Amino acid sequence: MWRIGSDTGGTFTDLVSPSGQITKVLSTPDNPARAVASGIEQLLQTGQHESASTQQLEELTHGTTVATNALLERKGARVAFICNEGFSDIIEIARQDRPSLYDPFIDRPAPLVSRPDRLEVPGRLDAQGKEIAPLELDKLPQMPSEIEAVAVCLLHSDLNPSHEIALRDHLAQATLDIAAASNIATAPDITCSHEIAPEFREYERASTTVLNSYLRPRCRTYLRNLSQLARQVLVMTSAGGLLPALQAAEAPARLLLSGPAGGVRAASYYATANGFANAVTLDMGGTSTDVCLVLGGQPAPAAQRDIDGYPVRVMALDVLTIGAGGGSIAALDSGGALKVGPQSAGAQPGPACYGLGGTAPTVTDANLLCGRLSPTARLGNLGALQPEAARRAFLNAGIDPQGALAVVNANMEQALRAVTTRRGIDPRQLALVAFGGAGPLHACELAELLEMETVVIPPRAGALSAVGILGAPRQVDLVSSWGAVLDHQGAQAQGEKLRQQAQAQLPEADEIVVSYDCRYSGQSHEIQVPSPELFHQEHRRQNGYSRQDTSVEVTAVRCVARVNREAPLPDIDREAVSGPVVIAEADTTIWVAENWSAELGEASSLILRRS
């Protein structure tokens, strides 16, 4: 079966075949599917598939940034938020934690639903999910006519969704009646919290539900169009598994870390293949850098991530993203201090050296001027790089290219420390897996800053996210709140129910894993463990202590079912060298710094070591 993996980034869209053939094309932010279609045509026309452009592609696996970009650019739908009476400000009150503790001028992101679009309905369930006040649908205020999507989040619906279901059915019928009266063929777009985030903590559940409603109209259109590019289109989720495109279109809140998850999966494979089961991944692309901790060969999971200040309570890989990429712009702030990012030149106009009209100095321009990129390098479908344009950009801005590299490295160092030292993990005991179009250019210096001895550069590093997406498993993620927190036996019975549900949804699954979110009574955070009995041991490993005489609460039960697939293993020629030297490859450039050497590793990897 001829299939292709694709990853849409801020600057380039990468595509890869199972045999390791790759192509990089400039992304098309106005319509990302256009770049994917162009890359597919180029890839099908190469090698033995030169006549395949006329045939239908069997399978396309895809990592998308559409949901993330729609949120960052605030280009989502107008949403109505429906909640219990007295709770309409929950999405604005949020939590008491502050994004910057000592900055009195810091602002939280504005709520995605304005105050007039928040509607309250009488009715209440208690903390055990029992009804204490009936739902009074006739008292629901009239919805503004310009509303495009509806987010429904009622108290304790994670334990009992009956009120949300009744409200959803009422809204659906009312919308159909309005459409019929107006002779408009339309369908309601309603997201209920028990469908997207059936877990406790009202604010986080409400935030996730609003995000899903906010993103779904745009993502649904995009993914439906994308589904026409192959007989089967699968989309990467933030949890590192693949969903059918039309199913993914209904849950865009699960796609906010779609592309980075693919890179982390592939990076963990190559680290383990070379004997480094414990590692930290560094994916530096054109717009951002993503880092993730890998322990025991497995990327760290997270039940919740914050995206641009909004909590998203869905299963994901624990990827930390910062605005540092090859296209990140270097500039002086009002006090004359040099900063790099988060603003990016993106794909259009791109760095100055691309010759596409960009005039701002970027990290890519700095690497070119500092001799780490060759002027004859070919990046994607660009022509020759233009050093003079890069030099003019830095001269006009009054900035030293070396200074720009030092600042962006410092930003990435802090991100790497956030997922290692701040969690009690010594980075000196880890390998750094560097990939992305720009990651291998900065890997040696970052390893030195963290006193790490080893860097792993996988094959096809510049398109590794696409490689990981192509080899990712089909996956179903299920979660259930557990209100009877001290009933471990009941929680394990619920785990078995979820196992059966997962088996029914994915009959061909060859791996089904059940886990439990546990905490000590009185704690406000949970740890995910394979069994409640293992909580004391895991708590000691992560926190340095355990309390054997304290009750253990189970707050949620999780189940993951997977159909594992054979990962593509690109086989490319590489050479052992000693630094300082630049290694230019088709998809990335590797800077082997002074006092570093590169040797051949397993699976066509390069292993960089400090001498």
Cα–Cα distance measured from residue 515 to residue 521, given in angstroms and rounded to the nearest whole number: 19
State pLDDT tens for residues 260-311.
999 999 999 999 999 999 999 999 988 889 999 999 999 998 888 888 889 9
Going along the chain from its start, the domains and CATH numbers come out as: 3-71+221-258 (3.30.420.40), 75-215 (no CATH), 261-324+408-470+570-610 (3.30.420.260), 328-405 (no CATH), 478-563 (no CATH)
Is the bond leading into 18 cis (omega within 30 degrees of zero)? no
Q: What angle do CA 396, 397, 403 make, to 5 degrees?
A: 125
pLDDT at 162 over 90: yes
State pLDDT tens for residues 414-438.
999 999 998 889 999 999 999 998 9
pLDDT at 54: 37
Please give, one letter per residue, the 3-state secondary structure of 202-219: HHHHHHHHHHHHHHHHHH
State pLDDT tens for residues 163-197.
999 999 999 887 766 656 555 445 568 999 999 99
Residue 591 C-beta-side C-alpha neighbours within 13 Å: 20
What is the pLDDT confidence band of residue 448, given thresholds at 50, 70 and 90?
Answer: very high
State pLDDT tens for residues 2-21.
889 999 887 789 999 887 78
pLDDT at 187: 54
pLDDT at 541: 85
Cα–Cα distance measured from residue 592 to residue 574, given in angstroms and rounded to the nearest whole number: 13
pLDDT at 560 over 50: yes
Q: Shortest CA distance to 501 belongs to which of 472, 532, 480?
A: 480
Cα–Cα distance measured from residue 579 to residue 606, given in angstroms and rounded to the nearest whole number: 13
Q: What angle do CA 248, 477, 474 make, to 5 degrees?
A: 65
Q: Give Cβ neighbours of residue 491 (< 8 Å, ≥ 6 apart).
A: 482, 484, 516, 532, 554, 557
Residues in the chain: 611
DSSP percent split of the chain into helix, strand, coil, nearest 5: 35, 25, 40
pLDDT at 178: 60
Q: What pTM, to 2 d.p., does this model score?
A: 0.88
Cα–Cα distance measured from residue 402 to residue 400, given in angstroms and rounded to the nearest whole number: 5
Pair of tokens at residue 189: 């777009």
